[in-house]
A and B are shown apart, each in its own frame.
Chain A
Amino acid sequence: MSKNRFVILLTTLLAPISALAQNGIDERIDNAVRPIADTVAGLVFSSFPVAGVQIPFVLVWLIAAATFFTFYFRFINLRAMRHGFHLVRGDYSDPTAAGEVTHFQALATALSGTVGLGNIAGVAIAVSLGGPGATFWMIVAGFLGMSTKFVECTLGVKYRNEYTDGTVSGGPMYYLAKGLAERSDKLRTLGKILAVLFAIFCIGGSFGGGNMFQANQSFKQLVSVTGGDASWLADKGWLFGVVIASLVGLVIIGGIQGIARVTSKIVPFMAIVYVLAGLIIILSNVTAVPAAIGAIISGAFSPEGMAGGVIGVLFQGFRRAAFSNEAGVGSAAIAHSAVRTNRPITEGFVALYEPFVDTVVVCTITALVIIITGTWDPNVDPGQGVALTSAAFESSISWFPWVLTLAVVLFAFSTMISWSYYGLKAWTFLFGESLITDITYKVLFLAFVVVGSSMQLGAVIDFSDAMIFAMAFPNILGLYFLLPVVKRELNTYWAEYRAGSLQKFGKALHRA
């Protein structure tokens, strides 16, 4: 099928959905889904009051695990960072394996699935609702999240499926099913149940947070930068959806890797532009930095006028960090498991850099820009995070919102590509691998792109957010059972590393 015919076919398939969206069917869908969404979201985000603040249980679940893993592995998040860097650099890569997926490539792929709206929109909301002090707790959560990623990604590689043709499939559904069965016969059934639950939530998350939410938010930013409600685009969400869905479709169904390759080249470039612009703003206001850091630290421990005091601030920071780096959700373990290595633990060390780059570096820069420029607003509507960050950058670099819009759309696109893969892996885990199951999932995925950008479906978006966080329940429960496996791998490997008996190659030999 030629590219052109493919686009036409896709457009004709997707156009009716948008036509429906124009005729008020979005409201009907909204009403139909609302009770289910509310129930699921209510369950996942069921909260209990602490010092007058409602704390959702899932957040405690994520942070408790990250803290426990950090202590259990005696601060592996900090002590393995140097070795992780050497692994990413390729010091331990056998040159005869050149051409396979390297540690760097696995990390870069996983990062392009997580860096995005969470760093841009989420941080603005955290600082606005929690004050500057939220930044401190966001950084703490980023460091703790590194330990969770370490555990997930080690297991993702260890229990992946390697097929005879050399392709690999990995992720929580495989380590939950295979890993728990290996622990004991009693855990076999539990492992299967957890794996199936994870796969179901992962599919939900791939349609929601990894798709509709991305389409919706990037469209909003595009509208606001082209003139808000007066924009020609304001009522043409369906058009934006069809365009994005066609592009995504060309990649995931048409197999046109060119588009994905172009995006995967531009996305890191945009991330660097974003970080540099942030640094420029921070440096040009360098006299304001000590005060900003002071506000972050004092705000973290003795916030003034914040609901819930320290607990309230801590909650905002932790919540946005967890939204942003997905540590404990299990999604990244799917991307990391493609690496070529015979030591699974090495990918765990490399994965430490994911929350580090995403949360500790990028989120901190965003937070500093927002605090220094004073653009944070305690009355912000949580749906307007991107607009707030955009305003913060605009106050120093007037044309930056345009760059930011491009960045947001590209980040959204690459996140969709990544999540379509995560969802597909979960889908084939449940329904088996065949051309029909494959295409069914992908067509559904594209339909949700159009739905996400053309409808104001609060209920559907709540539901999909809930699905992403629901993934953390089966995933982390399984991680607790599999900790001894990781500990064993770590002890053997770390002893070899300390003894200097790991083989180094190439330039690393001369450096050593």
Chain B
Amino acid sequence: MDQKLLVGIDCSNCGQRALDYAVAWARTADVPVVVVHVIEWSPYSFNTPMENEARHKRREAELDRAHSEIVDSVVDRLRDQGIDAKGLVRHGHPAHTLNDLANEAGATNIVVGRTGTSRIKSQLFGSVPSTLVQIADVPVTVVP
């Protein structure tokens, strides 16, 4: 089966290690890469009517900013290195959305960076990589 990598990045620098790892992998094995940024959002939140009214506009702005400040420059850099890359931005729960997008894009691997949260914090709130490892439908690589 043809391989395809999906890399999750949270801001332009924080996902750097995961990205470096995926780039090295992609270049040696010549596999396409999907660069993904998830904007944290819940469909079950409680909003004011004013927030709801402007929601569509806000969403467009959030997507634009995520593309221009986080995803697009990374995709360009990958393409410059001869990698078949594309960028995706979506709203949702980070871990679940990464998995959904991996399914949609037909990715065979998900690569994310280790978050390095303290033990207590991750016990209480979990972290994106640990949740992802529990729920993912494809193998997950967590880059330290």
Chain A interfacial positions (CB closer than 8 Å to B)? 90, 93, 95-96, 98-102, 104-106, 108-109, 112-113, 165-169, 251-252, 257, 260-261, 264-265, 267-268, 334-335, 338-340, 417-418, 421-422, 506
Contacts and interface: CB of A to CB of B under 8 A. Distances in A.
A11 B81 CA distance: 61
B28 interface: no
A99 B37 CA distance: 13
- 5 closest A-B pairs (Cβ-Cβ)? A99-B91, A338-B52, A166-B56, A98-B91, A421-B49
A418 B49 contact: yes
Nearest to A268: B46
Given A98-B92, A166-B60, A338 B53 contact: yes
Q: Which of A93, A167, A339 has the most CB of B within 10 A?
A: A167
B57 to A, nearest CB: 4
A481 B6 CA distance: 54
B39 interface: yes
A265 B49 contact: no
Interface string B52-66: 111111011011000
B85 to A, nearest CB: 20
B48 A95 contact: no
Contacts of A264: 46-48
A93 B91 CA distance: 13
B61 to A, nearest CB: 10
Binding site secondary structure of chain A: helix
Contacts of B49: 109, 113, 334-335, 338, 417-418, 421-422
B25 interface: no
B43 A102 contact: yes
B51 A257 contact: yes
Nearest to A112: B46
Contacts of A166: 56-57, 60
A112 B49 CA distance: 10
A98 B44 contact: no
Contacts of B51: 257, 260-261
B29 interface: no
B100 interface: yes
A98 B53 contact: no
A304 B57 CA distance: 59
A101 B92 contact: no
Contact of B47 (A95, A96, A108, A340): A108
Given A99-B39, A99-B91, A338 B46 contact: no
A340 B104 CA distance: 22
Q: Which of B56, B59, B91 has the most CB of A within 10 A?
A: B56
15 contacts: A95-B90, A98-B43, A100-B56, A101-B47, A102-B44, A104-B43, A105-B52, A108-B45, A112-B46, A167-B56, A251-B48, A257-B50, A261-B47, A265-B46, A338-B53
A112 B50 CA distance: 13
Interface of B: 39, 41, 43-57, 59-60, 62-63, 90-92, 97, 100, 104
Contacts of A335: 49, 52
Contacts of B104: 95
Contact of A340 (B41, B44, B46, B56): B56
Contact of A506 (B52, B53, B60, B100): B100
Contacts of A168: 53, 56
Given A93-B43, A95-B90, A102-B43, A109 B60 contact: no
Nearest to A419: B49
Contacts of B92: 95, 98-99
A165 B60 CA distance: 10
B55 A104 contact: no
A99 B62 contact: yes
Given A98-B92, A99-B63, A421 B48 contact: yes
A104 B44 contact: yes
Contacts of A261: 47-48, 51
A167 B48 contact: no
A165 B51 CA distance: 14
Contacts of B63: 99
B97 A101 contact: no
A166 B59 CA distance: 10
A374 to B, nearest CB: 35
A166 B61 CA distance: 11
A167 B53 contact: yes
B56 A257 contact: no
B42 to A, nearest CB: 9
B53 A169 contact: yes
Contacts of B48: 109, 251, 257, 260-261, 264, 417-418, 421
Given A168-B56, A169-B53, A506-B100, A105 B62 contact: no
A42 B91 CA distance: 52
B59 A165 contact: no
Contacts of B56: 100-101, 166-168, 340
Contacts of A340: 55-56
Contact of A99 (B41, B47, B50): B41
A169 B53 CA distance: 7
A106 B55 CA distance: 11
Nearest to B43: A102
Given A93-B43, A105-B46, 14 more contacts: A95-B92, A99-B41, A99-B59, A102-B44, A104-B43, A108-B44, A109-B52, A165-B57, A167-B53, A167-B56, A257-B50, A260-B51, A261-B51, A338-B49
